[in-house]
């Protein structure tokens, strides 16, 4: 979203901190801040952050013409299982969709396998008669006479939310719509999610699972969003509040309340948008985005200035990194790998004497031991404090004092005594493990995508990203790193560069040989009308752009390949090109095409978005000159394991072209960049910090 004048605010509520950014009409950052997240009511921490940046910039509420918000509330509710009591209604004969799932075990030979928790037990799974076929033709009418018994069943089981997923509703939603009308009249207090609105695609299990996830968080998110808007309106905000989505765009509060599942991973999506923009500004076409916050670390691959995307991901996996062990959610999403490795990740020694870090987090309450807020367990932040990487007087803009002694005590009590290590060596061990966990996750994500990390530039941000970037890059064999402006609040900054957008992926089966262009173009027109209405509610004026896609496969295959379509109505002469594009992409992914095979098209995608703010072209590199430190501090060197003297630099005083060698610490209000002993750093003309690994090591 781009305002013609006035100020814009972005608020990103994370698990540990809430980040707030205020910019003017020229996209110049006026003020930023990090405030502790308030888990009991996240809106309170957001209010505190917005009040602070407005006070710092001497701004008034009536000056704000744009407000963008992202939150982890929907994600946390699903992971921590703190949602509504959900029941399901499916077509008669399909009660056990969740139990059957994919008809396979995610780990074939694990005798202690734990099945994913899919929220709804069989006792809350109900059915109704009525049937559509795959082309949307009614085979038998909806049995409205059965609704009275269904109402009694839903009342008896105490359902607070309902997920309706009828067979082939993506092709014809008439039965779902009618059933909602009948049930809403009888049970007005029950929130109802319809599968054709949440995920209008074939594959019943994925569609039902996604609809359940939406229903599970819908009451909580609707209450939260209503309270959020009410409190900010009471402060004097009179512009619309837009929500960041998992796909990297923005949508209205009304759409977010109806489809809250699209808010899952909205904060990390903002970080990927920022990294893609920095990649475009610096003309780096192969990038690894590294976002390390207080609770988790997120890594995303970015090619040709676009984050890698997916149509499906999993929530709350029973087994880390094993596909199929979580709850599948089928929505458009920026694809990334996320692990429990943040500043608040807790370290512990198991009964076999092995050191582990995460995924449990101390969060903001009580937080790391060094926060002096009641935390006693050692965390990654405590380890960084003990190694001398964090200035106790400048952490979180100096508003949160760091207790170095408490960090050492926690490390000594929980780790040092068990492993017979001094506190600083315990801290080094924690860092080694968490950094290797993040590098390993990045390598795995790249391999699964058929890509190589070593030629990529890492763009690091988040409250802890710049502090761990060189350590992770070394293990991932990445040689160059970029630290952008205001990295500590990077995801919130990314919100401000995101377009207002809405994406629809809808199933409509056909083959390339039998493609009915008139029917297909009418189908796209309906999707265009729906998506445009959502986008125009958040971006009433300005140009809109669209992106059309087809999801194609050879006959009988189980998965599709995404193929770009012309952003207009299709014509007869486009069909040979569509065939050619599919086979080229198939060859790229699998080395060879399969001659003589019929090509099927399962799904069609359309994305409508406003234009993002204009890019600033990459500036020529400034002439390098040696920067002088304003002081020194002893740090535990991550290369040699010895205590060494590191130069201290204030980022605000560094100029384009300034060059320095590690070990060094570059400090700014919300984070610190560690320049390891085997790295050098300099500032480009745009003020980005570049880190490069020295060929000769330290």
Do 690 and 684 meet the contact criterion of CB atoms below 8 Å apart?
Answer: yes
| Alpha helices (runs of H) in 562-665, residue ranges in sequence order | 574-590
pLDDT at 2 over 50: no
Phi-psi region of 562 (alpha: psi -120 to 50; beta: other; left: phi over 0): beta
Top pLDDT among 106 and 99 is at 99
Reported as a single tens digit per residue, the pLDDT across 573-608 is 999 999 999 999 999 888 899 998 999 999 999 999
Query: Could you tell me which of 639, 631, 690 has the C-alpha nearest to residue 665?
Result: 631
The Cα-based distances of 617 to 282, 286, 489, 685 in angstroms read: 8, 17, 23, 11
What is the four-CA torsion angle of 670, 671, 672, 674, rounded to 10 degrees?
A: -170
Nearest-angstrom CA–CA distance, 344 and 360: 8
Query: Could you tell me which of 243, 254, 240 has the C-alpha nearest to residue 74?
Result: 243
3 state SS of 648 = strand
Residue in the block written with tokens 């060929």: 695
pLDDT at 33 over 50: yes
Query: Could you tell me which of 379, 400, 600, 374 has the C-alpha nearest to residue 508?
Result: 600
Nearest-angstrom CA–CA distance, 302 and 283: 12
pLDDT band at 160 (very low <50, low <70, confident <90, very high): very high
Q: Exposed, middle or buried by CB within 10 Å (0-12, 13-18, 19+), for 493?
A: buried
Phi-psi region of 364 (alpha: psi -120 to 50; beta: other; left: phi over 0): alpha
Reported as a single tens digit per residue, the pLDDT across 619-672 is 656 678 899 999 999 999 999 999 999 999 999 999 999 999 989 999 998 899
Do 342 and 296 meet the contact criterion of CB atoms below 8 Å apart?
Answer: yes
Phi-psi region of 217 (alpha: psi -120 to 50; beta: other; left: phi over 0): alpha
Q: What number is the average pLDDT over the span 605-615?
A: 85
Reported as a single tens digit per residue, the pLDDT across 267-305 is 889 999 999 999 999 999 999 999 998 888 899 999 999
In this prediction, residue 43 carries a pLDDT of 94
Nearest-angstrom CA–CA distance, 35 and 16: 9
Top pLDDT among 317 and 58 is at 58
- Is the bond leading into 366 cis (omega within 30 degrees of zero)? yes
Pairing relationship of beta strands 306-307 and 297-303 according to DSSP bridges: antiparallel
The Cα-based distances of 66 to 205, 240, 343, 453 in angstroms read: 39, 7, 31, 37
Residues 6 or more apart from 420 whose CB is under 8 A from it?
none
Of the chain, the percentage scoring pLDDT greater than 70 comes to 97
pLDDT band at 697 (very low <50, low <70, confident <90, very high): low
In this prediction, residue 559 carries a pLDDT of 85
Residues 6 or more apart from 147 whose CB is under 8 A from it?
128, 179, 182, 183, 186
In this prediction, residue 266 carries a pLDDT of 84
In this prediction, residue 588 carries a pLDDT of 87
Query: Could you tell me which of 615, 307, 666 has the C-alpha nearest to residue 459?
Result: 307
Top pLDDT among 5 and 414 is at 414
Nearest-angstrom CA–CA distance, 137 and 324: 33
Nearest-angstrom CA–CA distance, 488 and 271: 11
Other residues' Cβ atoms within 10 Å of the Cβ of residue 491: 29
The Cα-based distances of 140 to 27, 86, 151, 688 in angstroms read: 57, 27, 21, 63
Q: What number is the average pLDDT over the span 319-325?
A: 71
pLDDT at 536 over 90: no
291 alpha carbon, distance to own chain's centre? 10
For helices 404-411 and 423-448, angle between their N-to-C axes, nearest 10 degrees: 80
Host H or E run for residue 184: helix 174-186
Listing DSSP states for 390-414 in one string gives S-TTTGGGGTS---HHHHHHHHIII
pLDDT at 617 over 80: no
In this prediction, residue 3 carries a pLDDT of 43
Q: Chain-wide mean pLDDT for the chain?
A: 90
Do 272 and 336 meet the contact criterion of CB atoms below 8 Å apart?
Answer: yes
The Cα-based distances of 604 to 260, 423, 506, 568, 690 in angstroms read: 22, 57, 5, 13, 41
Q: Exposed, middle or buried by CB within 10 Å (0-12, 13-18, 19+), for 18?
A: buried
Listing DSSP states for 64-106 in one string gives EEEEEEEESHHHHHHHTT-S--EEEEEETT-TTHHHHTTSS-S
pLDDT at 1 over 50: no
Of the chain, the percentage scoring pLDDT greater than 90 comes to 67
The Cα-based distances of 605 to 507, 509, 524, 588 in angstroms read: 9, 13, 9, 21
Pairing relationship of beta strands 64-71 and 29-36 according to DSSP bridges: unpaired
Q: Give 314's strand partners.
A: 328
Listing DSSP states for 461-524 in one string gives ESSSHHHHHHHHHHHHT--EEEE-SSGGGHHHHHHTTPPBEEEEEEEEEEESTT--HHHHHHHH
Q: What number is the average pLDDT over the span 24-42?
A: 89
The Cα-based distances of 517 to 170, 505, 521 in angstroms read: 20, 18, 6
In this prediction, residue 431 carries a pLDDT of 94
Do 643 and 635 meet the contact criterion of CB atoms below 8 Å apart?
Answer: yes
Tell me the HSE value of 14 on the side-chain side, using a 13 A CA sphere.
37
pLDDT at 244 over 80: yes
Nearest-angstrom CA–CA distance, 255 and 2: 20
Give the chain's length: 698
Q: What number is the average pLDDT over the span 118-145?
A: 94
Reported as a single tens digit per residue, the pLDDT across 335-393 is 888 888 888 889 999 999 999 998 888 877 788 998 888 888 999 999 999 999 998 88
What is the four-CA torsion angle of 595, 597, 602, 606, rounded to 10 degrees?
A: 30
Do 633 and 646 meet the contact criterion of CB atoms below 8 Å apart?
Answer: yes
In this prediction, residue 4 carries a pLDDT of 47
| Alpha helices (runs of H) in 567-654, residue ranges in sequence order | 574-590
């Amino acid at each position: 979203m781009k305002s013609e004048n006035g100020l814009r605010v972005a608020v990103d509520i994370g698990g540990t901190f809430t980040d707030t950014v205020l910019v003017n009409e020229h996209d110049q950052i006026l003020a930023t801040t990090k405030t502790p997240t308030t888990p009991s009511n996240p809106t309170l921490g957001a209010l505190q952050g917005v009040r602070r940046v407005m006070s710092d910039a001497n701004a008034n509420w009536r000056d704000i013409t744009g407000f963008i918000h992202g939150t982890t509330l929907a994600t946390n509710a699903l992971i921590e299982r703190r949602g509504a009591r959900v029941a399901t209604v499916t077509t008669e004969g399909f009660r056990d969709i969740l139990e059957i799932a994919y008809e396979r075990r995610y780990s074939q030979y694990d005798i202690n396998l734990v099945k994913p928790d899919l929220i709804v037990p069989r006792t809350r799974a109900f059915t109704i008669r009525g049937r559509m076929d795959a082309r949307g033709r009614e085979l038998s009418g909806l049995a409205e006479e059965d609704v009275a018994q269904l109402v009694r069943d839903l009342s008896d089981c105490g359902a607070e939310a309902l997920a309706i997923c009828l067979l082939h509703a993506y092709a014809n939603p008439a039965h779902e719509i009618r059933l909602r009308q009948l049930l809403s009249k009888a049970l007005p207090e029950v929130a109802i999610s319809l599968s054709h609105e949440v995920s209008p695609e074939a594959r019943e299990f994925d569609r039902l699972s996604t609809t359940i996830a939406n229903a599970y968080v819908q009451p909580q998110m609707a209450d939260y969003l209503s309270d959020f808007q009410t409190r900010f309106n009471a402060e004097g905000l009179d512009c619309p509040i837009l929500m960041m989505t998992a796909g990297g765009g923005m949508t209205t509060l009304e759409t977010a309340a109806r489809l809250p599942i699209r808010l899952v991973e909205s904060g990390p999506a903002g970080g990927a948008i920022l990294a893609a923009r920095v990649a475009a500004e610096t003309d780096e076409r192969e990038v690894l985005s590294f976002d390390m916050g207080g609770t988790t670390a997120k890594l995303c691959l970015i090619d040709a200035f676009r984050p890698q995307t997916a149509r499906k991901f999993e929530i709350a996996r029973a087994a880390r990194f094993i596909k199929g062990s979580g709850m599948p959610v089928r929505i458009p999403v920026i694809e990334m790998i996320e692990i429990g490795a943040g500043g608040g990740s807790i370290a512990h020694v198991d009964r076999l004497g092995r050191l582990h870090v995460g995924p449990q987090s101390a969060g903001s309450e009580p937080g790391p031991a060094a926060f002096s807020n009641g935390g006693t367990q050692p965390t990654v932040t405590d380890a960084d404090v003990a190694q001398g990487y964090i200035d106790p007087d400048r952490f979180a803009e100096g508003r949160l004092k760091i207790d170095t002694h408490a960090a050492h005590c926690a490390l000594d009590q929980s780790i040092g005594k068990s492993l017979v290590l001094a506190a600083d060596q315990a801290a080094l061990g924690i860092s080694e493990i968490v950094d290797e966990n993040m590098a390993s996750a990045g390598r795995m994500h790249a391999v699964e995508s058929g890509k190589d990390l070593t030629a990529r530039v890492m763009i690091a941000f988040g409250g802890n990203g710049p502090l761990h970037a060189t350590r992770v890059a070394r293990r991932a064999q990445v040689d160059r790193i970029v630290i952008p402006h205001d990295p500590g609040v990077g995801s919130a900054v990314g919100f401000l560069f995101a377009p207002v957008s809405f994406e629809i992926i809808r199933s409509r089966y056909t083959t390339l040989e039998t493609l009915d262009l008139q029917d297909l173009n009418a189908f796209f027109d309906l999707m265009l009308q729906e998506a445009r209405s959502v986008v125009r509610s958040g971006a009433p004026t300005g140009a809109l752009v669209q992106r059309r896609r087809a999801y194609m496969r050879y006959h009988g295959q189980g998965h599709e390949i995404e193929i770009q379509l012309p952003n207009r109505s299709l014509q007869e002469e486009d069909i040979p090109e569509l065939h050619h594009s599919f086979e080229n992409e198939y060859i790229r992914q699998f080395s060879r095409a399969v001659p003589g095979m019929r090509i099927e098209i399962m799904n069609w995608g359309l994305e409508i978005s406003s234009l993002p703010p204009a890019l600033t072209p990459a500036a020529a590199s400034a002439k390098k000159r040696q920067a002088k430190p304003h002081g020194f501090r002893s740090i535990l060197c991550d290369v040699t394991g010895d205590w060494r003297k590191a130069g201290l630099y204030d980022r605000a005083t560094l100029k384009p072209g300034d060059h320095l060698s590690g070990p060094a610490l570059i400090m700014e209000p919300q984070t610190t960049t560690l320049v390891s002993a085997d790295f050098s750093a300099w500032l480009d003309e745009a003020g980005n910090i570049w880190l490069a690994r020295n060929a000769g090591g330290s």
